[in-house]
Structure 1
Amino acid sequence: MTRAAIFAGCPVLPEGDGDEAAVLPALADLGFTVRWAAWDDPDTDFGSADLVVLRATWDYPDRRDEFLAWCETVPALSNPAPVVRWNTDKVYLAELHDAGVPTVPVDVVQPGEKATWPKVPFVVKPSVGAGSRGVVRFAAAGPEAEKHLKSLHDDGRTALVQPYQSSVDTQGEIAVVFFGGVYSHAFTKSTMLGTGTDASGLYHEEQLAAAVPAPEVRAAAEDVLDAACGLLGILRAELLYARADLVRGDDGRPLMLELELIEPTLGFRHADAGAPLRFASAVRQQLA
């Protein structure tokens, strides 16, 4: 039985950034035909696909309302529209913190509000954003931080203020990837803030490398996923994919930096050969 899947990109990257190359033959082996389309392509009938997978919809921060409205029209969307709505606004970080998840502390600063600046180096970023765009690190409070906050607020954006974790400079972040709620693989990543974006203008370049997470890191990622599914009222298996990004706090404890449930890079180019097969099985599971 042949099944049709559509991988959703965006007008600038209608076929993603190439990370999924190994996934397509793995899906073909399970009877799937896969094609790419920009999510806002008026000539694509997304409702006709057995499954629509969000992969490179990286222009949503500037078009979030339009993007969410489109998600609501796609009956077989992975991950589903309610998850997308929750995860496209990083205010979810505060919800997970309140649920007891060890997270990098976050101060949510709504437009018109004043920030309480940390007494250590910190990061200011928009609550709706992707690819590290709009993320700026500051050594201390001062006019530059105020200016960046004002620029976000003038755009009508909520800002997040988080103390910078020094371990990022030495260890980077570790991204822990799950398919169908089950651990698949991990990789380290370091975003080069202040170096500009890639040719598409949608994300900062990152350095990625395969990794094996320490037991406490993997356990923390599992806890993050459990807490998020509890808040969303879903089972882990209902998520086709999830990526928990963690860093080490000053005391060495793993802390969640972000939980990516929308369209994260899944690091297939830095994973073992079985990762595309696991992803293909998870796609099939979504239709079971």
Structure 2
Amino acid sequence: MTVDPRPARPVVLGQNQYGKAENRVVRITRDGATHHIKDLNVSVALSGDMDDVHHSGSNANVLPTDTTKNTVYAFAKEYGIESAEQFGIHLARHFVTSQEPIRTARIRIEEYGWERIATSDAGSRPTGADEGRHSFVRTGQETRLTQITYDGAAWEVVSGLKDLVVMNSTNSEFWGYVKDKYTTLQEAHDRILATQVAGRWRFNWSDDEQQMPPWEESYEQTRKHLLQAFAETYSLSLQQTLYQMGARIIDHRGEIDEVRFSLPNKHHFLVDLEPFGLKNDNEVYYAADRPYGLIEATVLREGCEARIPVDLTNL
């Protein structure tokens, strides 16, 4: 057995931190019929007098990471979210000033932007549809797509988009569904409806140069109609909204015969703030990214056949 001749040196704990990462919080501010959204991904890292927990396992100086998560949601209700910076300042100050062992708090925030969807003019909106001051589209996410197929005789042009994230902060319900012994979901009569649109649409153009669609205008108008249908549909199910989006395109764009959508339901669950003595009046939500409901369907012009693949990733 070989013995190391060097004298033993003490082991020293270096820099350390702990916290709760990626707390997704969506704050809806309701200014009458006009709603405002702040959508943040908040990561909290705390450091300070934490030697004991590393050396002996004593948690006497440890604020649970679950508590930091709860604080994010409670502060979203109590203080609102004026800006990511101001919200982070509130959190950092709280952790350092309220917990003596904590010397430093680092708050990292990603903010996801939303812009309001412009709806149709009052005279052309569907009966009962309002101005859509609660309908939003995520900014900076969308990717435009197209696929051209030509076999020497026939053309097929399929265009579309992916990663177009949209949200209605009200005018959505989900109730009256089948229930069995495994059902725990509560019926909702006012919920957030959000999805990340993947859509493809097939043109009926052949090879006539004189009848070629104005491609740029067609994309812009198709996108506009699917967004307006999303904003203007009082939704009782995401399936209903999907159908209205496809039907709106078919009705308004004569150059398109088929539309297929794949819409994951981006669930937003109300956070239970009662343990903190706070009432959550449809204001603070937890944005869950998985598992998610996935709604898919094709909408066709009457007399046409479906050609877009069921799996849009194969296109």
Q: Indicate the structure with greater helix content.
A: 1
Q: TM-score, normalised by structure 1?
A: 0.25
More relative contact order, 1 or 2 (CA 8 Å, 6+ apart): 1
